[in-house]
Amino acid sequence: VLKSRYVSLASILASMTFPVLLILFIVLRDTWSFGRLWPLVIIALIIPGAVLIRHRENIERLRQGTENKITQR
């Protein structure tokens, strides 16, 4: 958000980053088990899809270059 000033872009990127980081932590941490955390992984994979659906108009405006940026006060 600080660099691009597009809140919708930040929301989309954050939603897509969460499942990647979650899976990475499950793989790297000995105390985290996929067997116990699989419901969280499933939800983490569904959330980006929901965010993309919710932001489809914003995505189109980003492509067209007409998306509003947040203003600095």
DSSP 72: P
Alpha helices (H) along the chain: 7-28, 34-54, 56-64
For residues 64 and 70, the model is more confident at: 64
Q: Let me know: does 2 contact 72? Beta carbons within 8 Å.
A: no
What tens digit of pLDDT does each residue of 51-68 get? 999 989 988 988 898 877
- Longest distance between any two alpha carbons in the chain, whole Å: 47
pLDDT value for 47: 93
What are the backbone dihedrals phi and psi of residue 28, each rounded to the nearest 5 degrees, phi first?
-85, -25
Q: What is the pTM of this model?
A: 0.71
Cα 49 to chain center, whole Å?
9
